[in-house]
C-alpha cells in the first residue's frame, strides 16, 4: 500500500505516534509511507528511504493573510500527491486540520483514496468541541472512512460532543516501542543522579491540561517526608516560567532539574523511581506508558483514559487531581518501600508490553487500512 501520514511535527504524543506508525508500516511491513507536513517528524532524522519519504507543505505568505493558510495549502498539495503516487490510504493525526485537508484533497483529485483519522484528545475535548470549530470538526469526522480513538474515554467524549455513532469509532490504544523504552536502558543512562537519592520524573509539553505546576507542589510535599529526593522535568511549554518561579519561591532549586526537550527520554525514565503525572485531562497518557515500559511505576491522576492504562495498586497509582495530598501520601509510601516499588515496576513493565506492544497495535492499524 501507499500510505500518507499527516502529522504535527512538534514534539508531543501525537507526533511520536504518527511517526512510529509510519516507520513500522514502512520498515516492518513493507508499505510505502509518505510523511507530509510543515516539518519532518522529529524522530525521522536521516532515516528517509525509498519506502519512507517526507513531503514538505509549502505555504504562500501574502500580506493580506493574517495567518498562513496551512490547511488549504496541505489539501492542494496532498491532492497532487494522491494522483502522482497513487496513494491508497491517508492517515490523519488530529481532526483539525488534517482530516479536513484529507477530505478536501480527495474531492479535488477525484481518486477514491481512503481516509483514516486518529483522534488524540484535545482535538476533540478542547479545540474541536469549541463553538467556533465544532461544525468543521463534525464535518471532518463524518467524511472520514475510519475514525480511531486512543482510549475508550476519548471514544465516549467524541460521541458526547459530536453525536457520532459509536460503531463508527474504533478504540486503538497508543503503544510503546521497546527500542526506545525498556528497563535495560538505565544501564546506559547519561543522566547523573545524586548518590542515594530517589528520583521523580515528569514528562509533558507543560500545558495547562497537564497541570505541571502541581508537579512542583506535590514534589515539595514529598520532600518534607523524604530526605534525599530529586525531580527531573522533561519538556518545555507555556507554564515553564511558572514552574521555575515556584521552585525558586519554595527554595527547592537544588532538588529540581529542568532537562528541556529530549529526543531520547528512555534512558532518563529507566533511571528514575517514579513518574508523576497530575493531568487534569488526559486522553490516554503516553508518558505514563513509556515510564511503565521502562519498569517505572506512574503516580497519575484519575482522569480521562489514565485508568484504562494504570490499575491502582497493581501496576501504578492513581489519585484524585483535586487532592494533591493523596498524591503526596501515595508517592511517599511507594518511594519508601523498595520491594513494593520493584513489584509494581515489574507489573508495569509486563502490562505495557502485554497490552500496548507496538507490533500488536500495528496489526490493528494494518487491518483497518486493508478493510
Residue with cell 463524518: 142
- For domain 183-355, the question of CATH label 3.40.50.2000 is answered with yes
Identify the band that residue 106 occupies on the pLDDT scale cut at 50, 70 and 90: very high
Q: At 88, is the secondary structure helix, strand, or coil?
A: coil
Cis preceding linkage at 97, omega within 30: yes
Tell me the domain boundaries of the chain: 2-175+357-370, 183-355
- d(C-alpha 221, C-alpha 33), whole Å: 48
pTM of the model: 0.92
- d(C-alpha 134, C-alpha 221), whole Å: 41
- Taking the alpha carbons at both ends of the chain, their separation in whole angstroms is 12
Contacts of 358 (CB under 8 A, 6+ apart): 20, 24, 175, 176, 177, 178
pLDDT tens for each residue of 292-325: 999 999 999 999 999 999 999 999 999 999 999 9
Interstrand relation of 198-203 and 169-171 (parallel, antiparallel or unpaired): unpaired
Nearest to 144 by CA among 94, 82, 110: 94
Paired residues of 89 in beta bridges: 3, 114
Domain 2-175+357-370 class, CATH top level: alpha beta
- Report residue 292 as a C-alpha cell: 511503565
- pLDDT of amino acid 129: 80
Range 170-176 average pLDDT: 97
Residue with cell 505516534: 17
Range 10-36 average pLDDT: 90
pLDDT tens for each residue of 210-259: 999 999 999 999 999 998 999 999 999 999 999 999 999 999 999 999 99
> Quick check: do 2-175+357-370 and 183-355 share a fold?
yes
Amino acid at each position: 500500500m501507499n500510505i500518507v501520514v499527516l502529522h504535527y511535527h512538534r514534539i508531543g504524543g501525537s507526533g511520536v505516534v504518527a511517526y512510529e506508525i509510519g516507520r513500522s508500516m514502512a520498515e516492518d511491513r513493507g508499505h510505502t509511507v509518505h510523511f507530509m507536513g510543515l516539518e519532518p517528524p522529529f524522530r525521522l532524522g536521516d532515516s528517509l528511504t525509498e519506502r519512507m519519504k517526507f513531503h514538505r507543505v509549502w505555504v504562500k505568505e501574502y500580506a493580506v493573510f493574517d495567518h498562513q493558510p496551512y490547511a488549504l495549502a496541505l489539501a492542494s498539495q496532498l491532492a497532487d500527491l494522491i494522483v502522482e503516487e497513487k496513494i491508497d490510504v491517508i492517515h490523519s493525526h488530529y481532526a483539525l486540520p488534517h482530516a479536513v485537508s484529507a477530505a478536501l484533497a480527495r474531492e479535488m483529485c477525484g481518486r477514491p483514496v481512503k481516509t483514516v483519522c486518529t483522534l488524540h484528545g484535545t482535538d476533540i475535548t478542547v479545540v474541536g468541541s469549541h463553538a467556533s470549530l465544532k461544525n468543521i470538526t463534525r464535518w471532518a469526522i463524518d467524511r472520514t472512512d475510519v475514525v480511531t480513538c486512543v482510549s475508550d474515554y476519548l471514544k465516549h467524549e467524541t460521541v458526547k460532543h459530536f453525536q457520532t455513532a459509536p460503531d463508527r469509532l474504533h478504540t486503538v490504544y497508543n503503544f510503546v516501542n521497546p527500542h526506545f523504552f525498556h528497563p535495560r536502558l538505565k544501564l546506559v543512562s547519561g543522566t547523573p543522579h545524586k548518590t542515594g537519592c530517589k528520583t521523580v520524573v515528569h514528562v509533558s509539553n507543560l500545558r495547562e491540561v497537564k497541570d505541571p505546576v502541581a508537579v512542583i507542589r506535590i514534589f515539595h510535599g514529598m520532600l518534607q517526608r523524604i530526605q534525599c529526593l530529586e525531580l527531573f522535568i522533561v519538556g518545555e511549554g507555556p507554564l515553564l516560567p511558572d514552574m521555575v518561579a515556584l521552585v525558586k519561591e519554595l527554595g527547592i532549586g537544588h532538588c529540581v532539574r529542568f532537562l528541556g526537550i529530549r529526543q531520547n527520554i528512555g534512558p532518563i525514565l529507566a533511571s528514575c523511581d517514579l513518574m508523576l503525572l497530575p493531568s487534569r485531562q488526559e486522553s490516554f497518557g503516553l508518558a505514563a506508558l513509556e515510564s511503565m515500559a521502562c519498569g517505572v511505576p506512574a503516580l497519575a491522576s484519575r482522569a480521562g483514559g489514565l485508568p484504562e492504562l494504570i490499575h491502582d495498586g497493581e501496576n501504578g497509582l492513581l489519585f484524585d487531581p483535586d487532592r494533591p495530598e493523596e498524591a503526596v501520601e501515595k508517592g511517599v509510601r511507594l518511594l519508601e518501600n523498595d520491594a513494593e516499588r520493584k513489584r509494581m515496576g515489574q507489573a508495569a513493565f509486563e502490562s505495557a508490553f502485554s497490552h500496548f506492544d507496538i507490533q500488536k497495535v500495528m496489526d490493528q492499524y494494518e487491518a483497518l487500512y486493508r478493510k
